[in-house]
Amino acid sequence: MNDMADDIGLLNRPAHELAALIRSGEISAVAVTEASLARIEALNPTVKAFLTVTPDLALEAAKATDDALARGEELGPLAGVPIAIKDNLCVDGVLCTCASKILDGYRAVYDATVVERVKAVGMPIVGKTNLDEFAMGSSTENSAFFVTHNPWDLSKVPGGSSGGSAAAVAARMAPLALGSDTGGSIRQPASFCGITGLKTTYGRVSRYGLVGYGSSLDQVGALAADCVDAALLTAVIAGQDPRDTTSADVPVPDYVGELTGDVTGLRVGIVRELMGEGIDPEVRESVLTVARALEGMGASTGEASIPHIDYALPVYYLIGPAEASSNLARFDGMRYGHRTKERAADHIEMYSRTRAEGFGPEVKRRIMTGTYALSAGYYDAYYLKAQKVRTLLRLDVEAALGQFDVLLSPTTPLTAFGIGELVNDPIAMYMADICTFAANLAGVPGLSVPCGFTKAGLPIGAQFTGRAFEEGTILRVGDAYQRATSHHTSLPGLLGAGG
């Protein structure tokens, strides 16, 4: 398959349908992977979702899947389905830049645990996707290399920081992708790009091999066409890992088996604080249609409250940068990555010049903020106080989830904004994640599903937040909603099919 016209009908299917076709022998894993690589070749110059494409790695895995099927081996439910990997996750022998000049040219020397797991089930890795530098941003405009474009409107951002992964799935360059979510970086781009994105409970998925930003907040998760695909991929990557001491020893349920389509008696709490001022009216109305749809399926709805949610943004932007200040100290030009070519009088000057040249403005802003918050005389006033308010937020979320089975809100207060529109206004940019911070600060799972379009044709996302380790519940609600609606099946106009 050498052109997009040949593969368009094939790749526009969800991953679980592609996997079934591969297992039945109706199509080969190599053919699906070649179709994915052909679409990347056709669309990536425009969308700019991928930093690195890995055809040899992908085709080798696809051929291994076809050979195993020919031998009559029993394979997993995603065998042969191509996947894209966010470029802050290590893939052995492949560039891992975190979209930063300071890691330009660095090749990982091992696989992240989640990468090991997708390889183990026979999923071909087609490439590494663009992101905001070191996952710090909400638009993928902070990449040191180029800006990713939203497939629904190429003048708009795809969201961030997992914007490359979201754009790759939205444009069906890859049926599935992995992203990371520190304050909304899976769910917000999923909303902007009209796809499904799941942030799992903190500790559900190993962070080994994920380049750290905020270690108490980061979590790896799935970007997919629908909840079935998200459930299948989460089942692959979830589970305890002895190499990550924060991964939880909690059994991984049968996520797909929990997708019953039945939400009868389920209690859905609409978060009052996320439905008022600052929420675009079209977004608010679309989320209310989700509530009405679930009521029609037998769920009950009511008003939930997270009283301290107004503090989520300042708390996040103290804790995240403080942890980043520590995590990014390792990038000093000594062992790997960029080192200044300027002559330095001593190692301190070499460090300073290397980091000044290697880090972009947003990363520098967050390192300085975090270092200040941790400095002598300010630790108690800023970082320690932020941790105390984080506890209040966690208790708020737990109390709300004591009254309701899931919480419903917009994923974002607005839809995809124009490239360049907010890049010089950090506070306005930070506000784009106001609806998603709470799940990271509380360590609970959050899911974004497409729930409509604006009059201008841009996707809108609804967010379901659930109790710790109850990803199955929010996936069940999201799947039931998707069975009753078609928003998630709409495709961007550049694929020849509009929303």
Domains and CATH numbers, the chain: 4-266+444-495 (3.90.1300.10)
Q: What is the pLDDT of residue 2?
A: 39
Measured in whole angstroms, the distance separating CA 18 from the mean position of its chain's CA atoms is: 22
pLDDT higher than 60, residue 5 = no
Work out the pLDDT band at 498, boundaries 50, 70, 90: very low
Work out the pLDDT band at 9, boundaries 50, 70, 90: confident
Q: Are 383 and 319 in contact (CB under 8 A)?
A: yes
pLDDT in tens, 227-281: 999 999 999 999 999 999 999 999 999 999 999 999 999 999 999 999 999 999 9
pLDDT in tens, 74-125: 999 999 999 999 999 999 999 999 999 999 999 999 999 999 999 999 999 9
Q: What is the pLDDT of residue 131?
A: 98
Range name among 5-19, 138-152, 181-195, 481-495 with the lowest pLDDT average: 5-19
Q: Check residue 99 and give left, alpha or beta (phi > 0: left; psi -120 to 50: alpha).
A: left
Residue whose C-alpha is closest to residue 337's, from 106, 114, 168: 106
Average pLDDT of the residues in 367-377: 93
Which token pair is 444?
A: 């609970």
pLDDT in tens, 430-454: 998 999 999 999 999 999 999 999 9
Residue 216, classified by CB atoms within 10 Å of its CB into exposed (0-12), middle (13-18) or buried (19+), is: middle
Beta-sheet strands, E only, within 31-99: 50-53, 83-86
Look up 161 and say whether it is catalytic.
Answer: yes
Average pLDDT of the residues in 357-384: 94
pLDDT higher than 80, residue 12 = yes
As a whole-number percent, the residues of the chain with pLDDT over 70 amount to 98
Look up 185 and say whether it is catalytic.
Answer: yes
| Among 100, 161, 247, 448, the one annotated catalytic | 161
Query: How far, in Å, CA of 233 to CA of 244, rounded?
Result: 20
Q: Which residues pair with 466 in a beta bridge?
A: 406
Q: Are 86 and 95 in contact (CB under 8 A)?
A: no
Q: What is the pLDDT of residue 7?
A: 53
Q: What is the pLDDT of residue 6?
A: 46
Average confidence score pLDDT of the chain: 95
Average pLDDT of the residues in 374-386: 93
Counted residue by residue, the chain has a size of 499
Token match 């996936």: residue? 475
| Among 28, 36, 48, 86, the one annotated catalytic | 86
Look up 162 and say whether it is catalytic.
Answer: no
| Among 185, 247, 286, 409, the one annotated catalytic | 185
Q: What is the pLDDT of residue 45?
A: 98
As a whole-number percent, the residues of the chain with pLDDT over 90 amount to 91
